[in-house]
């Protein structure tokens, strides 16, 4: 098919001096800059572009915009291959590769086309009905088979090589759609000085003005578009965003939009592929235009059958018509005047016209062509493309007309989707036969132009101006009214015709292969709600979301129920308006940068010293430090744990939350936060504290140090640091605003290193500046502010998680790395050893200290054996609730467990049962919280909660893990595997 001649003014829309080569299904073709893939395929006479979803019927291009149900192609190849791309939205670029989808073998000889013969078995709801028996076959046989046969394109399964960005805009006015109404709205607001964002999904702004042949102010409409865009582009308060789809309306006037930054290029180069914009607009104008609907008739899905307005757009904007052979004439089928406009446009471009089939009796030609008034189309012929159309004329006689293209005009549906995103219900206009945006749409969103039924050029221009003035008035701005360009009258009379009744299949939803028969069947099967009909038939689903089928389907359903369209109503529209890639929703952060990572001050030191890291919340913590010759992590961990018990170890514990609490009421405040009493803590002392949830369960534990009068440092667990701080701030601001206390998170400010082991004091003595570390002066649970390494301010806490003599030394974070190096250097002769979180866990399990696994939100202070820490002398968050029935009488207690056979491994998470008891929920007596290999005990050990565990020491119980078939005998022992008297840590 060769190009049509276009008037000079329209030549700008495609650049005939810039030919572009591309391939479709491996065959080379040529198009022009300005073409879409769809228009370029048409220019090359390609009609068959894919196979349908269910029946694998040949399909062609059906529309000229984002509503396209048929022409879904896979664009590009390799990692950039993108399935389900609408050929109508793809801008042609040099070297573009596209391939058709959903066929086995070539698209012309699809082996799966056999499905069409099985159509009687594939009707509405077939998968609910056909594949019920035998049950087991669903997962293994039916579902995989259906998935292979149906579906659209395939993913490449390779990582996306492109980058994506996100951005935020805050205009006064967002104008969605740059057609007649949108341009006029933007112009009105821009001249009034408002900050305006004008977004359009098309690469070229102008909307239907680019597709119509009419004049504005006596000149081609494209001239007016160019003038307005030039003026807008020159204004500093306007941002033009072509290739940008506003896909959703969210709360508080936030609009989601995707800008296709480099989709129109072969590769993005230095640019991002797409940008996700969050546009917070004071007001928005929905000038999203309208989508034409078709009229279902028998075999209306053949390539060559397309929307009449799209046919007109292809002729006027791109200079193409979709015949396979240039000489094949075009036929129009319409129920309204708009079909005749297409006939006029085609005649003006010199296209051979076979006439107009107009369902309205008394319809007349608007030009030099034949009109079959009162006639309807009743069938089509042509294997891979349209060859003949059958019509039934007003007198009831049938005849066949030879043609290569059939344009179908069933009226226009306003694109109301965005106005319905907050569950706004469209309202039926019986006169215009359209749904209009309802009054209950999103606040601040003002529909304009064809999107609210003002579809003629004159009406759209005026309505765009009206909408902008409304928005500006609401924003307390005054706007002068720019003069409207003179436009021609456009006839728009319509008489309802929703489908042509017949025995054969007439497609309503081309993308999902849903026919009028399917809707009837769904009605017969009692799917009376429109929502049920949608699910039963799958109408309106998938990538096009029923843009060309929804209203027609409702009308067919309304006819069946006799309820009328208004009462039948619509299904709910939800974002996104058109498909959005997950990559752009992710905003571009992938891999290591998927989320923020927090590194400890000694991270780089640990990296250089062979550490393996583990994620703890957002933190990366050293898990163990492998030494040369160690081939298994257990070797490293055992060595590190032994070194702490025998000499001295170093562990970065910066990740523990540190909250600076200051003020005269700090003690009172902490008494209410902690279950135990803190206010009695003297300066220079540390106390272990428990926090409860409001419901009385354990929340968090840690130490609280008193640095001076009214000055405390609260330590939290790593994972809860943020939550505890948030909770304390809530209590300070909302529960007890009368208390004079200040909270500051200082977690990041201090590098804190645990120095643990019998030689820890000897090591620290080598770095402190003349500070007396003797047991008398600085005993267990003491703390001090001091200086180290020649004047560096530091904090020292004598606390122990390992059960050995131990300290935690904190210095300003920038010195953490150097301090670690210094301690390693000074402690070399003492056997100093860095240890990671695994050894830390081994040491604390050996000592019976609780951690996250024991404080899992289902445990109480009493279960830990710390019930008396919940002070009865004062109130604290959760204290009263901890005494409630059901919680206070929980008699499970923390115990130690050792396998009877020392070679056996105790699995964490195993449930505990009495020896010989049935292993069921009713006989469950607790569970293992933590387990590890203890190099000290030389066997696996575990901590767990056991029913009346404190009274069952010495008893042998069963540890069962039915998921993996484990059932191990273990002896109940005290939870302290080392130094049960606690003498060591006080040495």
For the bound state, the minimum distance from the C-beta of residue 190 to another protein, rounded and expressed in Å, comes to 17
For the bound state, the minimum distance from the C-beta of residue 227 to another protein, rounded and expressed in Å, comes to 24
Please say which residue, 359 or 600, places its beta carbon nearer to another protein. Answer: 600
Which residues touch 471 (CB under 8 Å, ≥6 apart)? 173, 185, 189, 283, 285, 446
Tokens of 485: 């360009």
Peptide bond into 134 cis (omega under 30): yes
For the bound state, the minimum distance from the C-beta of residue 837 to another protein, rounded and expressed in Å, comes to 16
Tokens of 582: 């997950």
How far apart (Å, rounded) are the C-alpha atoms in residues 905 and 931?
A: 9
Which residues contribute to the site for another protein (CB under 8 A)? Answer: 163, 165-170, 269-272, 278, 280, 587-589, 593, 595-601, 603-604, 618-619, 654, 660, 662-663, 737, 740, 742, 744-751, 787-792, 811-819, 822
Please say which residue, 21 or 474, places its beta carbon nearer to another protein. Answer: 474
Please say which residue, 224 or 619, places its beta carbon nearer to another protein. Answer: 619
Which stretches within 659-738 are classed as H helix?
Answer: 666-673, 721-730
**H-run or E-run covering 689:** strand 685-692
Is residue 392 exposed (0-12), middle (13-18) or buried (19+ Cβ within 10 Å)?
buried
Please say which residue, 29 or 815, places its beta carbon nearer to another protein. Answer: 815
Which residues touch 624 (CB under 8 Å, ≥6 apart)? 611, 612, 633, 636, 637, 640, 835, 836, 837, 838, 839
For the bound state, the minimum distance from the C-beta of residue 176 to another protein, rounded and expressed in Å, comes to 19
Please say which residue, 813 or 869, places its beta carbon nearer to another protein. Answer: 813
For the bound state, the minimum distance from the C-beta of residue 712 to another protein, rounded and expressed in Å, comes to 12
For the bound state, the minimum distance from the C-beta of residue 598 to another protein, rounded and expressed in Å, comes to 4
For the bound state, the minimum distance from the C-beta of residue 263 to another protein, rounded and expressed in Å, comes to 15
Length of the chain (residues): 987
Peptide bond into 576 cis (omega under 30): yes
For the bound state, the minimum distance from the C-beta of residue 94 to another protein, rounded and expressed in Å, comes to 18
**H-run or E-run covering 254:** strand 254-259
Residue with tokens 């007439």: 506
Tokens of 930: 């933590």
Please say which residue, 78 or 596, places its beta carbon nearer to another protein. Answer: 596
For the bound state, the minimum distance from the C-beta of residue 518 to another protein, rounded and expressed in Å, comes to 45
For the bound state, the minimum distance from the C-beta of residue 740 to another protein, rounded and expressed in Å, comes to 5
Residue with tokens 């902690």: 674
Q: Does residue 41 come out as left (phi exceeding 0), alpha (psi in the -120 to 50 range) or beta?
A: alpha
Please say which residue, 714 or 811, places its beta carbon nearer to another protein. Answer: 811
Q: What angle do CA 328, 547, 489 make, to 5 degrees?
A: 65
For the bound state, the minimum distance from the C-beta of residue 841 to another protein, rounded and expressed in Å, comes to 22
Please say which residue, 33 or 272, places its beta carbon nearer to another protein. Answer: 272
How far apart (Å, rounded) are the C-alpha atoms in residues 893 and 890?
A: 8
Please say which residue, 166 or 976, places its beta carbon nearer to another protein. Answer: 166
How far apart (Å, rounded) are the C-alpha atoms in residues 94 and 977?
A: 73
Please say which residue, 215 or 254, places its beta carbon nearer to another protein. Answer: 254
**H-run or E-run covering 114:** none
- Short-list 520, 510, 123, 493, CA closest to 302: 510
Tokens of 144: 């995989």
Which residues touch 406 (CB under 8 Å, ≥6 apart)? 304, 305, 306, 330, 331, 332, 333, 377, 380, 386, 389
Please, are residues 652 and 601 in contact by the beta-carbon 8 Å criterion?
yes
Please say which residue, 598 or 952, places its beta carbon nearer to another protein. Answer: 598
Which residues touch 906 (CB under 8 Å, ≥6 apart)? 897, 899, 928, 931, 940, 941, 942, 959, 968, 970
Please, are residues 95 and 19 in contact by the beta-carbon 8 Å criterion?
no
How far apart (Å, rounded) are the C-alpha atoms in residues 291 and 67?
A: 7
For the bound state, the minimum distance from the C-beta of residue 637 to another protein, rounded and expressed in Å, comes to 25
Q: How far is CA 587 from CA 156, 167, 791, 888, in A?
A: 20, 9, 46, 48
Please say which residue, 626 or 661, places its beta carbon nearer to another protein. Answer: 661
Please say which residue, 784 or 842, places its beta carbon nearer to another protein. Answer: 784
- Cα Rg of the chain, angstroms: 37
Please say which residue, 151 or 617, places its beta carbon nearer to another protein. Answer: 617
Please say which residue, 692 or 707, places its beta carbon nearer to another protein. Answer: 707
How far apart (Å, rounded) are the C-alpha atoms in residues 539 and 53?
A: 12
Please say which residue, 402 or 590, places its beta carbon nearer to another protein. Answer: 590
List phi, psi (to 5°) of 366: -105, 10
For the bound state, the minimum distance from the C-beta of residue 538 to another protein, rounded and expressed in Å, comes to 37
Question: Residue 356 pairs with which residues in a beta bridge?
Answer: 332, 371
For the bound state, the minimum distance from the C-beta of residue 759 to another protein, rounded and expressed in Å, comes to 22
For the bound state, the minimum distance from the C-beta of residue 812 to another protein, rounded and expressed in Å, comes to 4
For the bound state, the minimum distance from the C-beta of residue 169 to another protein, rounded and expressed in Å, comes to 7
């Amino acid at each position: 098919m060769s190009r049509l001649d276009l008037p000079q003014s329209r030549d700008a829309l495609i650049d005939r001096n810039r030919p572009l080569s591309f391939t479709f299904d491996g065959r080379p073709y040529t198009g022009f800059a300005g073409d879409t893939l769809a228009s370029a395929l048409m220019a090359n006479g390609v009609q068959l572009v894919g196979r349908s979803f269910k029946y694998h019927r040949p399909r062609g291009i059906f529309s000229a915009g984002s509503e396209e149900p048929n022409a879904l192609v896979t664009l590009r190849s390799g990692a950039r291959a993108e399935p389900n791309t609408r050929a109508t939205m793809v801008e042609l670029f040099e070297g573009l590769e596209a391939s058709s989808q959903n066929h086995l073998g070539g698209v012309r000889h699809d082996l799966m086309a056999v499905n069409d013969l099985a159509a009687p078995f594939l009707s509405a709801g077939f998968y609910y009905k056909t594949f019920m028996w035998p049950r087991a076959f669903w997962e293994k046989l039916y579902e995989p088979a259906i998935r292979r046969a149906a579906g659209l394109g395939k993913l490449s399964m390779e990582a996306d090589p492109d980058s994506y960005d996100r951005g935020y805009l805050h205009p006064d006015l967002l104008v969605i759609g740059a057609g007649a109404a949108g341009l006029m709205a933007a112009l009105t607001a821009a001249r009034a000085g408002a900050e305006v964002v004008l977004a359009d999904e098309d690469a070229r702004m102008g909307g239907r003005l680019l597709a119509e042949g009419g004049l504005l102010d006596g000149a081609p409409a494209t001239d007016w578009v160019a003038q307005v865009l030039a003026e807008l582009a020159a204004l500093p308060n306007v941002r033009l965003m072509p290739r940008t789809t506003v896909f959703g309306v969210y709360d508080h006037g936030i609009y989601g939009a995707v800008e296709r930054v480099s989709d129109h290029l072969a590769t993005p180069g230095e640019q991002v592929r797409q940008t996700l914009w969050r546009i917070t607009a004071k007001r928005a104008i929905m000038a999203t235009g309208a989508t034409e609907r078709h009229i279902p008739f028998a075999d209306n899905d053949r390539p060559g059958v397309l929307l009449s307005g799209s046919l007109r757009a292809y002729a006027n904007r791109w200079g193409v018509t979709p015949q396979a052979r240039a000489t094949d004439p075009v036929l129009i089928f319409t129920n309204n005047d708009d079909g005749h406009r297409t006939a006029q446009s085609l005649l003006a471009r010199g296209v051979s016209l076979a006439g107009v089939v107009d369902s309205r009796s008394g319809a007349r030609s608007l030009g030099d062509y034949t009109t079959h008034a009162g006639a309807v189309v009743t069938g089509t012929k042509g294997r891979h493309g349209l060859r003949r159309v059958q019509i039934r004329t007003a007198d009831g006689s049938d005849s066949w007309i030879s043609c290569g293209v059939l344009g179908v005009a069933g009226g226009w549906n306003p694109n109301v989707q965005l106005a319905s995103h907050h569950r706004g219900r469209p309202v039926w206009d019986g006169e215009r036969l359209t749904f209009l945006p309802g009054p209950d749409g999103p606040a601040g969103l003002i529909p304009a132009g064809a999107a609210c039924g003002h579809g003629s050029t004159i009406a759209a221009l005026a309505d765009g101006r009206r909408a902008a003035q409304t928005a500006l008035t609401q924003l307390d701005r005054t706007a002068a009214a720019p003069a409207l360009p003179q436009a021609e009258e456009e006839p728009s009379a319509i008489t309802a015709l929703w489908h042509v009744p017949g025995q054969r299949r007439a497609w309503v939803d081309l993308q999902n292969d849903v026919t009028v028969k399917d809707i009837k069947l769904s009605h017969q099967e009692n799917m009376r709600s429109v929502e049920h009909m949608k699910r039963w038939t799958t109408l309106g689903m998938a990538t096009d979301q029923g843009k060309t089928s929804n209203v027609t389907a409702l009308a067919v359903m309304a006819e069946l129920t006799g309820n009328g369209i208004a009462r039948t109503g619509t299904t709910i529209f939800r974002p996104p308006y058109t498909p959005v890639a997950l990559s752009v929703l992710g905003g571009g952060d992938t891999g290591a940068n998927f989320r923020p990572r927090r590194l400890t001050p000694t991270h780089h030191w640990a990296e250089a010293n062979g550490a393996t890291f583990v994620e703890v919340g957002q933190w990366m913590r050293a898990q163990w430090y492998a030494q040369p010759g160690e081939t298994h992590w257990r070797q490293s961990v055992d060595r590190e744990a032994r070194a702490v018990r025998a000499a001295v170890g170093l562990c970065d514990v910066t990740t523990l939350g540190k909250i600076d609490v200051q003020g005269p009421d700090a003690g009172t405040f902490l008494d209410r936060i902690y279950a135990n009493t803190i206010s009695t803590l003297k300066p220079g002392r540390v106390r272990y504290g428990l926090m409860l949830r409001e419901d009385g369960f354990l929340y968090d534990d840690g130490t609280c140090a008193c640095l001076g009068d009214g000055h405390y440092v609260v330590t939290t667990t790593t994972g809860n640091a943020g939550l505890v701080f948030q909770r304390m701030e809530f209590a300070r601001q909302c529960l007890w605003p009368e208390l004079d206390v200040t909270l500051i998170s200082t977690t990041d400010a201090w590098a804190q290193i645990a120095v643990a082991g019998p030689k820890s004091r000897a090591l620290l003595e080598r770095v402190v500046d003349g500070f007396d570390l003797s047991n008398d002066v600085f005993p267990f649970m003491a703390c001090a502010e001091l200086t180290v390494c020649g004047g560096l301010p530091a904090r020292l806490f004598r606390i122990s998680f390992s059960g050995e003599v131990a300290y935690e030394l904190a210095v300003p974070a920038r010195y953490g790395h150097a301090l670690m190096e210094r301690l390693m250097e000074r402690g070399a002769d003492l056997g100093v050893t860095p240890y990671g979180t695994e050894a830390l866990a081994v040491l604390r399990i050996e000592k019976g200290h609780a951690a996250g696994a024991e404080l899992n939100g289902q445990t109480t202070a009493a279960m830990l054996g710390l019930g008396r820490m919940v002070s009865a002398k004062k109130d604290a968050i959760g204290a009263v609730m901890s005494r409630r029935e059901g919680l206070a009488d929980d008699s499970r207690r923390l115990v130690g467990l050792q396998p009877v056979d020392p070679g056996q491994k105790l699995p964490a998470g195993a449930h505990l049962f009495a020896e010989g008891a049935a292993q069921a929920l009713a006989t469950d007596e607790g569970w293992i919280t933590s387990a590890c290999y203890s190099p000290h005990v030389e066997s696996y050990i575990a901590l767990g909660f056991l029913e009346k565990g404190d009274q069952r020491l010495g008893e042998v119980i069963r540890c069962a893990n039915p998921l993996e078939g484990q059932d191990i005998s273990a002896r109940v022992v005290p939870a302290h595997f080392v130094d049960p008297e606690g003498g060591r840590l006080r040495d």
